[in-house]
Amino acid sequence: MSARRSAIPVLAAVLLAACGESPAPAAQRAARPGGLAPAAAPQQAPAAQATKAPEKPPEPSYSSVGKRDPFRSYLSELSKQGSELATRCATPLGKFELEQLQLVAVVTGLENPVAMVQAPNGVGYSLRRGACIGKNGGTVAAVRSGEVVVAEWVVRADGTRDRTQTVIRLPREAALNLEE
């Protein structure tokens, strides 16, 4: 047992010592049919190596054109996209642009006024202050006599987001009926 234990460190030392040696040249390893290596071949190989200039490996280059920035977190980009999607309306009114909706009626004089809009498909929806409306995730800011004010975030061409207010008004003939 002690012979095995003493042999293991010796074997490890031999293996570590052999790791640093350079491999033998191919000319020395090739054996002649007689079993001896040629004597002149080792002298020619170092002379040939001495005359060659050491070649410089090509400089590595990296072009980031069209590639993702490796120093930005992919997860943070996903969370930004997720937050934009979360601000969109999940209601049926979130499928339409504000210009597609037509204001049909407004009921004021209540504590919380109500308006009714008609979608392009002919379905009517009631709106109160704070309701989600439009593809840009707008909310109803105010319901006034004859109009509804919608506040929404609009993304500009340069990527900035601006808060805008859009007013949806009753058509002229419907407004005349209110005054009678």
Residue ranges making up the domain that contains 111: 81-179
Give the span between the Cα atoms of 12 and 6, in whole angstroms.
10
In a domain, 50, yes or no: no
Predicted local distance difference test score (pLDDT) of residue 85: 47
Q: How many domains does the chain have?
A: 1
Please work out, in degrees rounded to the nearest 5, the angle formed at the alpha carbon of residue 138 by the alpha carbons of 110 and 169: 55
Cβ-based burial of 23 (10 A; exposed 0-12, middle 13-18, buried ≥19): exposed
Give the span between the Cα atoms of 98 and 19, in whole angstroms.
75
Among candidates 133, 156, 157, 154, which has minimal Cα distance to 143? 133
Predicted local distance difference test score (pLDDT) of residue 109: 87
In a domain, 45, yes or no: no
Q: Which residues of the chain have pLDDT under 70?
A: 1, 18-53, 77-88, 174-180
Predicted local distance difference test score (pLDDT) of residue 42: 52
For the four alpha carbons of 41, 42, 43 and 46, in that order, the dihedral sign comes to positive
Strand partners, 162: 154
Q: Any idea what the CATH number is for the domain that residue 162 is in?
A: 2.30.30.830
In a domain, 168, yes or no: yes
In a domain, 127, yes or no: yes
Q: Which are the contacts of 38, defined by CB distance < 8 A and separation ≥ 6?
A: 27, 32
Strand partners, 153: 163
In a domain, 18, yes or no: no
Give the span between the Cα atoms of 133 and 144, in whole angstroms.
16
Predicted local distance difference test score (pLDDT) of residue 161: 82
Instruction: Judge if pTM exceeds 0.95.
Output: no
In a domain, 97, yes or no: yes
In a domain, 172, yes or no: yes
In a domain, 31, yes or no: no
- Please answer whether residues 147 and 103 qualify as being in contact, where contact means their C-beta atoms are separated by less than 8 angstroms: yes
Predicted local distance difference test score (pLDDT) of residue 56: 83
